[in-house]
Structure 1
Amino acid sequence: MLRPRIIPCLLVKDGGLVKTVKFKDPKYVGDPINAVKIFNEKRADELIVVDIDATVNGVEPNYKMISNLAMECRMPLCYGGGVRTAAQAKKIVSLGVEKVAISAAALENMSLITQMAEEIGRQSVVVVLDVKKRLLGRTFDVWTHNGTKNTKREFIEVAKEAEQLGAGEIVVNSIDDDGKMSGYDVALIKKLRESVKIPVTVLGGAGSLDDISKVIEECGTVGVAAGSLFVFKGPYKAVLINYPDLRQKDEMIKSALRR
Structure 2
Amino acid sequence: MSKRHSKFRPCIDLHEGLVKQIVGGTLSERSSENLQTNFVSSHSPSYYAQLYKEHDLVGGHVIKLGPRNDEAAREALQAWPGGLQIGGGINDSNALGWLENGAPKVIVTSYLFPDAKFSLSRLQKISTLVGPERLVVDISCRRRDSRWIVAMNKWQDLTDMEVNKESLDVLSQYCSEFLIHAADVEGLCQGIDEELVQKLGEWVTIPTTYAGGAKDLSDLDAVDRLSNGTVDLTYGSALDIFGGNLVRFEDLVRASKKTA
Mark yes or no: TM-score above 0.5: yes
Change (3 A) 1:200 1:18: same
Encode CA deviations 1:123-169: one digit per residue, 9 max, x unaligned. Answer: 211111121111x3x111111111211114212254333123x0211
Q: Which moves more between the two structures, 97-106 or 180-189?
A: 180-189
Partner of 1:233: 244
Structure 2 residue runs without a partner (length 5+):
27-35
Deviation at 1:195, TM superposition (A): 1.9
Partner of 2:30: none
Distance in 2, Cα, partners of 1:100 & 1:50: 10
Distance in 1, Cα, partners of 2:250 & 2:211: 16
Distance in 2, Cα, partners of 1:116 & 1:107: 13
**2:16 maps to which of 10, 14, 17:** 14
Superposition pairs for residues 189-200 of structure 1, below 5 Å? 189-200=197-208
Name the aligned partner's letter for residue 29 of structure 1: S
Distance in 1, Cα, partners of 2:204 & 2:46: 34
Distance in 2, Cα, partners of 1:207 & 1:75: 28
Partner of 2:29: none
Normalised TM-score (structure 1):
0.82
Change (3 A) 1:243 1:104: farther
Q: Which moves more between the two structures, 184-193 or 138-147?
A: 184-193
Partner of 1:107: 113
Superposition pairs for residues 26-175 of structure 1, below 5 Å? 26=37, 27-30=39-42, 31-54=44-67, 62=70, 64-73=71-80, 76-85=83-92, 87-108=93-114, 109-134=119-144, 136=145, 138-156=146-164, 157-164=166-173, 166-175=174-183
Q: Secondary structure at the match of 1:228?
A: coil
Distance in 1, Cα, partners of 2:5 & 2:129: 26
- Is the 2:45–2:72 contact (alpha carbons within 8 Å) kept by the matching residues of 1? no
- Is the 1:46–1:75 contact (alpha carbons within 8 Å) kept by the matching residues of 2? no
Partner of 1:221: 230
Change (3 A) 1:158 1:190: same
- Is the 2:200–2:231 contact (alpha carbons within 8 Å) kept by the matching residues of 1? no
Normalised TM-score (structure 2):
0.81
Structure 1 residue runs without a partner (length 5+):
255-259
> What root-mean-square deviation, in Å, do the aligned CA atoms of Structure 1 and Structure 2 show?
2.5
- Is the 2:136–2:179 contact (alpha carbons within 8 Å) kept by the matching residues of 1? yes
Change (3 A) 1:41 1:196: closer
Distance in 1, Cα, partners of 2:133 & 2:202: 20
Distance in 2, Cα, partners of 1:217 & 1:3: 9
Deviation at 1:19, TM superposition (A): 1.0
Partner of 2:217: 209
Distance in 2, Cα, partners of 1:80 & 1:243: 26
Encode CA deviations 1:199-252: one digit per residue, 9 max, x unaligned. Answer: 1111101101101111012211322112223323326x9xxx83436544233x
Partner of 1:4: 6
- Is the 2:91–2:126 contact (alpha carbons within 8 Å) kept by the matching residues of 1? no
Change (3 A) 1:3 1:215: closer
- Is the 1:40–1:75 contact (alpha carbons within 8 Å) kept by the matching residues of 2? no
Partner of 2:190: 182
Encode CA deviations 1:7-49: one digit per residue, 9 max, x unaligned. Answer: 1122101110111124322342333222222222333233211
Alignment coverage as a number of residue pairs: 239
Percent sequence identity over matched residues?
21
Distance in 2, Cα, partners of 1:232 & 1:250: 23
